[in-house]
Structure 1
Amino acid sequence: MSTLGVNTGWRARAACRDHDPELFFPTAHSGPARAAQAAAAKRVCAGCPVREACLRFALAHLPHGVAGGLDEDERRAVRRRGAVGRPVARPGPRVLARRARAGGCSAAQVAMWLGVSTRTVHRWTAGGAA
């Protein structure tokens, strides 16, 4: 079970194995549509038991798409910082909510993506930008 000389046996336990692979490759180029598409993939990654192994593989081998809970821009930033092999700091739901709202997403959309109420989204985003 090796791809590019890397142990990928963890893939059999990946949360994404039963999802359409297209989910993990956003088609929108930028803005709220891209954020929404990436968020849908990241929700699958969030509960994955092999997320760390997937992220290590993605950092080394995958230039595109969402893998290990990060999109390609986030992985590029990790590589730039030289943080490969160290825990990855991810923005919390409040920051994600603020960014999505600032990008034009409705409170209802953000609430659905984050699994919270619209009231919570309004509370998190009151008076502040990302």
Structure 2
Amino acid sequence: MSAHDLDEGAVRDWRARAACRGVDPELFFPEPSDEPLVKAQVAAAKAVCRPCPVRERCLVDAMKRLPHGIAGGLTEQDRRRLRTVRGMGMGRRPRWLVLLEAGCSHREVAHECGVSIRTVERWVARQQDHGTAGVGDGSR
């Protein structure tokens, strides 16, 4: 086996570079119970995903084959909304808009995109000024 073969294997095995490697998998599959506890668990799981170097690849995989749990930084409900948005034939959408349409709050989008909440609010206002379908109001 050549060094090139090893490199290709490493690229294919993206899970080996995942931030969640070594984290208890139960964190990513919250049981519906006490809502504040579930929200805290979802937030903790998303916090693990946020800086992950293979987050986008994980999300692609989750969109194809993972019906439950948190993967790629999105819950199953977030992924369901994202599938709906993509199914509308809207083409390439800015990441911030996809996140809002998937149910992320303005605060979450700001954190994910490395901008202030005020910047997200300006993006949303600009989007609404152009007559594009509304997005989240940030109250979530």
TM-score by length of 1: 0.60
Maintained 8 Å contact 1:56/1:85: no
Maintained 8 Å contact 2:69/2:75: yes
| Runs of 4+ with deviation above 3 angstroms | 83-88
Report the 3-state secondary structure (helix = DSSP H, G, I; strand = E; otherwise coil) of the residue aligned with 2:20.
Answer: helix
- Asked if 1:40 is matched to 2:54, the reply is no
Instruction: Measure, in 2, the Cα distance between the counterparts of 1:68 and 1:50.
Output: 8
The corresponding residue for 1:18 is 22
Specify which structure has the bigger relative contact order, considering alpha-carbon pairs within 8 angstroms and separated by 6 or more residues: 1
**1:75 counterpart (76, 79, 89):** 79
Work out which of the two has the higher radius of gyration on C-alpha atoms and give 1 or 2.
2
Maintained 8 Å contact 1:51/1:69: yes
Instruction: Measure, in 2, the Cα distance between the counterparts of 1:79 and 1:94.
Output: 19
Q: Where in structure 2 are the equivalents of 1:1-130 lying within 5 Å?
A: 9-29=13-33, 31-82=35-86, 87=95, 88-89=98-99, 90-93=104-107, 129-130=139-140
Query: Which sits farther off after the overlay, 15-24 or 25-34?
Result: 25-34
Q: Aligned residue pairs: how many?
A: 92
Instruction: Measure, in 1, the Cα distance between the counterparts of 2:57 and 2:108.
Output: 27
TM-score by length of 2: 0.56
C-alpha RMSD of the superposition: 2.8
Deviation per residue, 1:2-57 (Å, 9 max, x gap):
xxxxx851100000011011110001247322211111100000010000000000
Percent identity over paired residues: 52
